[in-house]
Amino acid sequence: MGKSPNIFVFKTPEQVALAAAGKFEAYAREAIADHGVFSVALAGGNTPRRVYELLAAELFRDRIGWAGVHLFFGDERAVPPDNHDSNYRMVHAALISQIGIPLSNVHRIIGEGDAHENAAAYERDLKEFFGEISWPRFDLILLGMGEDGHTASLFPGGDAVREELRWVAATRMEHLKQDRITITIPVINQAAHVMFLVTGKAKAKRLSEVIHQNSAAAPLPAQLVQPTHGTFEWLLDKEAASLL
Ligand code: 6PG
């Protein structure tokens, strides 16, 4: 069992995003001072978009040493980078296109083409950056949570949830007829800082189940996130936290 989580509840999603951007800056400063780089795996979906916009805004942009920041992705939809569903597209619009980060510091998961081949390619990219070690140690992994308790592209009952050897897996979302590429649970649990961002009333019930670890059946993917030695934080708005 990893460290117990620190739970922060804010009045509004905007305050959640502001707090997350502040932590991103602090963790970036800490990592760059300690080992010269800051490796972060970004979450997709809607919730973190505002965080990325804030990081690109005047308040934060010039306070972060982007030359030392390496942007990775926690997961990607198997679509081209200009597709509406692409996490890369969302992050490029909100952040990458707004800051002077060296393109070699942006590690896109290739979405177009075969998901299994792209998962293997992304794993090679990670191994080139972190080295041929047992598990990569990201300085920060940002995560969201779906209403079904999924995180990254690790879905309840999905084959990638129980992956114990690979750093990156391809998985199929049958109900959406969409392939995904995702980092795996052991990679998430090795990070120095793991931060969930969850807002909105629609997630309140599932969040209570995940936080209180009382899911009836098999553990939900979000419950399998138990950082072994890193910090573990949930940044919530009061609507999402209303049933805790
Ligand atoms: C993705 C994310 C996914 C997301 C949750 C929550 O690629 O969509 O990795 O895990 O974090 O689905 O999404 P929202 O923030 O849009 O609610």
pLDDT of residue 112: 97
Using CA positions, which residue lies closest to atom 2 of ligand 1? 44
Least-confidence region, from 2-6, 81-85, 225-229? 2-6
pLDDT of residue 215: 60
Picking from 69, 54, 45, the residue whose alpha carbon sits closest to that of residue 19 is 54
Mean pLDDT of 221-227: 97
pLDDT of residue 217: 72
Pocket test of ligand 1: the residue of 49, 86, 141, 150 to mutate, having most ligand atoms within 8 Å of its CB, is: 150
pLDDT surpassing 70 at residue 1 = no
151 lines ligand 1 (CB under 6 A): yes
Residue 215 or residue 153, greater confidence: 153
Least-confidence region, from 6-20, 58-72, 209-223? 209-223
pLDDT of residue 114: 97
Cα–Cα dist 236/8, whole Å:
6
pLDDT digits (tens, 9 = 90+) for 126-163: 999 999 999 999 999 999 999 999 999 999 999 999 99
pLDDT digits (tens, 9 = 90+) for 88-136: 999 999 999 999 999 999 999 999 999 999 999 999 999 999 999 999 9
45 lines ligand 1 (CB under 6 A): yes
Distance 145 CA to ligand 1 centre (A): 6
Domain ranges of the chain: 43-190
174 pLDDT band (50/70/90 cuts)? confident
pLDDT surpassing 80 at residue 84 = yes
Backbone angles phi and psi of 204, in degrees to 5: -60, -45
The CATH label, of 3.40.50.300, 3.40.50.720, 3.30.420.40, 3.40.50.1360, for the domain at 43-190 is 3.40.50.1360
Pocket test of ligand 1: the residue of 85, 148, 151, 178 to mutate, having most ligand atoms within 8 Å of its CB, is: 151
What are the start-end ranges of the E strands in 174-229? 178-183, 193-198
| Alpha helices, DSSP H, located in 133-184 | none
pLDDT of residue 115: 98
Alpha carbon separation from 227 to 99, 101, 174, 191, 201 (Å, rounded)? 30, 29, 29, 7, 26
